[in-house]
Structures are given as structure tokens and as C-alpha cells.
Amino acid sequence: MVEPRHVHWITTKHVLRYFKGTIGYGLKYVSNEKLELHEYTDSDWAGSAVDRKSTSRCCFNLGSDMISWFCRKQTSVALSMVEAKYIAACGASKEAVWLRKMLAGLFDQETRC
């Protein structure tokens, strides 16, 4: 940041206080547990009454712990329920590729989908 302001300093202090308060939080993975990445997706069709756009929802589990999720309005109008589900699956597969690359750097063993 070129010219930090007072509001930036306050925000930085809030973030550091959050880190201090949650230092003991985390996910524990037992070494004998088989780590598999599971993905669950869903969508509604034309759920928004204003613009008739659908909403995509997805979550990812690693073992028994949820590690990532999203819920967002689709950028285009789906003409059928199948198209809405296809758009949700495409968004989830992009997230899955990113997660697999990140997890490959964290774990020695390969995660399976």
C-alpha cells in the first residue's frame, strides 16, 4: 500500500487480534485416516425472482472435515435445471483443481477425488 491511512491501521489491529484469539484453532488429521477429497454440489433453477439467475452451492471435505465451500449466484441465466447444475459443476471443478494443487504442496501423500 502506497499511502496507508488510519482505517488501515485499525483493520490491521483487528486482524492481528483475531489471529491471537484463534491461535489454538485448527483441523487435526490423524495419520492413519485415509485423506480423500470429496465434493458436493447443488444448484437451484431460476431462484432469484429479480433476474431469474440460479445459485450454485458447493462444499469440499478432506476426510471428515469441511475445508472449502461456496454459494454464489451464477453469472448467466440457465434455461433448464440441467444447465444450472452443469454450471455449478463447472465452478466446483475449477475449485477442485485449485484445492488439489494446494493440497499437493501440503501433504506428502496424494489426495484422491
Please tell me the pTM assigned to this model. 0.65
Q: Which amino acid is at 113?
A: C
Q: How are strands ordered across the β-sheet holding 55-62?
A: 37-43, 55-62, 65-73
Residue 17: how many other CB atoms lie within 10 Å: 10
Residue 112 pLDDT: 54
96: helix, coil or strand?
helix
**If 0-12 CB within 10 Å is exposed, 13-18 middle and 19+ buried, where does residue 63 land?**
middle
Q: How far apart are CA 59 and CA 76, in angstroms?
A: 21
Predicted pLDDT of residue 94: 95
Give the separation between CA 76 and CA 71, rounded to whole angstroms. 15
Contact 37, 99 (CB under 8 A): yes
d(C-alpha 37, C-alpha 66), whole Å: 10
In this model, does residue 32 exceed pLDDT 70?
A: no
pLDDT digits (tens, 9 = 90+) for 86-98: 999 999 999 999 9
